[in-house]
């Protein structure tokens, strides 16, 4: 195994550190949850399509026989399903840039990972040097960084000079010194002359050779960086999520109120604030906190001086939220309806029998009636349920005495309306003819008749009346919502 690869950017210092939180530690996800997330994130049709595209596009690049057999095996395991054909989507012809892009392929993924790992060293070099700079390993370098930050904070126009100066100092000057190296220390010289022809070839950046120590150093740092990202992601979510997801509505409402007021104030008065001073203060404070002595001082005095103030501030905030954030508004209430349907036995003078309770009145010219469908609903009153997410606000159903109002509101035709008594809305005999005419596409007469329930008027086969009941929105606590989300 080679010790290192010449002219390759590789972090040969200490490994990239991994971050841990004392309360949570490094995340160790459950294998079952990982398996379920993998099933949700990968579409079978897309996966097979990508495997086929990848195998076809890379068949001539020299993949091993084992890789090709694995690709063929996955193509046979994953069922065929073209999502574009299922959803009737047109092919994407926006640009030839997107045509011929290789899909997912395990051999291609392996090859790309090797190439990526050979070239990612420059990122880890920058990360390591930045950590050394911010942790005061070399105080003169950190003080130089503070000087540069001070100039930029006091004169923000110098920010345009920063990338040009960085290109000169970190790209052009080192490249020139490679071609004009200093003489060896064995040769006595009074000054380092940069005149004359180049003495060395130009430096070219090469990827780290596979199976070299630099290659495995990159894998080590990549592994630690992935763990850092996962730990930081979980830690940030643990801090930000509780006050912002309205699991505690009082706390989230206070945060919303603070953000709203701050937005309004800054929108009006942002030009009056000394932003240069604030940025300078933030820059010096953030870099100074990386000094080991200051960190040790803060750790030693946190329990004695900072934690008591945290408790008092938290108690004051909780008291203010409990006193000023009022969330005792009554839940939303609405009225729901159901229709009691009865059907006549025998002829036009037969007795009525209870049929069912339906959400629709099943009037003579309703779409269900014209289509010849039977009414849908529940057999008994007790089986009528509240809508999903709602609960009953009253103890029992109430008969709607305004039969004329809801008939006129729904433009129900071909019925007799009882304005007294049991408030039945009964089909007229002519309604049967109207239904037949509607089925044939003929024009149907409109209107309804008023009755008092005592007249013996020939009627149709169906009658109905409307029952109403109040429902209110069902409240869900934050803990219940979190547990239901985890279970789903």
d(CA 365, CA 412): 8
d(CA 416, CA 351): 17
The beta-strand segments (E) located in 14-163 are none
User: pLDDT higher for 32 or 469?
Assistant: 469
pTM over 0.75: no
Q: Helices (H) and strands (E) in the chain — how many of each?
A: 18, 8
pLDDT category at 145 given cuts 50, 70, 90 is very high
Kindly give the pairing relationship between strand 390-392 and strand 415-418: unpaired
Secondary structure (3-state) at 112? helix
Q: pLDDT of 166-197, one tens digit each?
A: 999 999 999 988 888 877 777 666 666 777 78
User: pLDDT higher for 432 or 484?
Assistant: 432
When pLDDT is averaged across residues 136-140 and rounded to a whole number, the result is 93
d(CA 105, CA 54): 5
When pLDDT is averaged across residues 282-307 and rounded to a whole number, the result is 88
Q: pLDDT of 278-290, one tens digit each?
A: 999 999 999 999 9
d(CA 419, CA 425): 9
Interior/surface letters 106-144, b for 16+ CB within 10 angstroms, e for the rest: bbbeebeeeeebbbbbebbbebbeeeebeebeeeeebee
Q: Which two tokens stand for residue 182?
A: 């200093």
Torsion sign over Cα 448, 450, 453, 458: negative
Secondary structure (3-state) at 428? strand
Residue 80, pLDDT > 50, answer no
Given a contact cutoff of 8 angstroms between Cβ atoms, the answer to whether 6 and 216 are in contact is no
Dihedral in degrees, nearest 10, Cα atoms 355, 361, 365, 369: -40
Kindly give the pairing relationship between strand 352-358 and strand 398-399: unpaired
Residue 26, pLDDT > 70, answer no
Q: pLDDT of 360-397, one tens digit each?
A: 998 888 888 888 888 889 988 888 999 888 999 888 89
Task: Kindly report the number of other CB atoms within 10 A of residue 416's CB atom.
Answer: 21
Q: pLDDT of 305-355, one tens digit each?
A: 888 888 888 888 888 888 887 776 778 889 999 999 998 887 667 788 888
What is the overall mean pLDDT for the chain? 78
């Amino acid at each position: 195994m080679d010790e290192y690869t010449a002219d390759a950017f590789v972090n040969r210092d200490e490994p990239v550190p991994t971050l841990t939180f004392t309360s949570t530690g490094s995340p160790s996800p459950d294998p079952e949850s990982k398996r379920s997330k993998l099933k949700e994130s990968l579409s079978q049709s897309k996966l097979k399509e990508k495997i086929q595209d990848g195998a076809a596009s890379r068949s001539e690049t020299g993949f091993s026989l084992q890789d090709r057999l694995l690709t063929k095996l996955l193509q046979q395991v994953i069922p065929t399903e073209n999502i574009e054909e299922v959803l009737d989507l047109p092919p994407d012809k926006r640009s030839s840039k997107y045509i011929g892009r290789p899909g997912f392929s395990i051999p291609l993924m392996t090859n790309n990972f090797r190439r990526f790992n050979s070239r990612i060293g420059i990122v880890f070099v920058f990360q390591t040097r930045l950590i050394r700079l911010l942790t005061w390993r070399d105080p003169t370098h950190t003080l130089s960084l503070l000087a540069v930050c001070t100039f930029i904070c006091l004169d923000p126009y110098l920010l345009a000079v920063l990338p040009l100066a960085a290109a000169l100092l970190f790209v052009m000057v080192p490249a020139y010194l490679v071609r004009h190296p200093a003489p060896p220390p064995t040769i006595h010289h009074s000054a380092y002359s940069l005149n004359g022809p180049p003495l060395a070839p130009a430096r070219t950046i090469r990827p780290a050779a596979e199976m070299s120590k630099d290659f495995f150093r990159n894998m080590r740092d990549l592994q630690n960086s992935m763990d850092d990202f996962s730990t930081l992601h979980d830690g940030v979510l643990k801090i930000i999520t509780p006050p912002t997801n309205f699991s505690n509505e009082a706390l989230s409402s206070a945060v919303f109120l603070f953000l709203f007021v701050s937005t309004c104030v800054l929108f009006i008065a942002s030009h009056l604030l000394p932003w240069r001073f604030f940025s300078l203060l933030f820059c010096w404070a953030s870099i100074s906190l990386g000094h080991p002595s200051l960190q040790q001082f803060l750790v030693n005095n946190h329990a004695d001086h900072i934690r008591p103030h945290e408790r008092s501030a938290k108690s004051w905030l909780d008291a203010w939220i409990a006193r000023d954030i009022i969330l005792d508004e009554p839940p939303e209430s609405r009225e729901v309806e159901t229709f009691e349907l009865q059907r006549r036995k025998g002829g036009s003078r037969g007795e009525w029998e209870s049929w069912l309770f339906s959400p629709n009145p099943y009037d003579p010219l309703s779409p269900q009636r014209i289509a010849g469908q039977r009414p849908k609903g529940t057999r008994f009153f007790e089986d009528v349920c509240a809508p999903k997410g709602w609960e009953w606000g009253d103890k029992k159903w109430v008969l709607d005495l305004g039969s004329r109002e809801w008939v006129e509101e729904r433009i129900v035709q071909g019925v007799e309306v009882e304005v007294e008594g049991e408030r039945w809305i009964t089909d007229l005999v002519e309604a049967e003819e109207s239904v037949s005419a509607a089925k044939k596409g003929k024009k149907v007469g409109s209107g309804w008749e008023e009755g008092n329930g005592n007249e013996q008027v020939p009627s149709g086969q169906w009658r109905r009346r409307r029952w109403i009941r109040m429902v209110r929105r069902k409240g869900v606590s934050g803990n219940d919502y979190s547990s239901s989300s985890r279970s789903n």
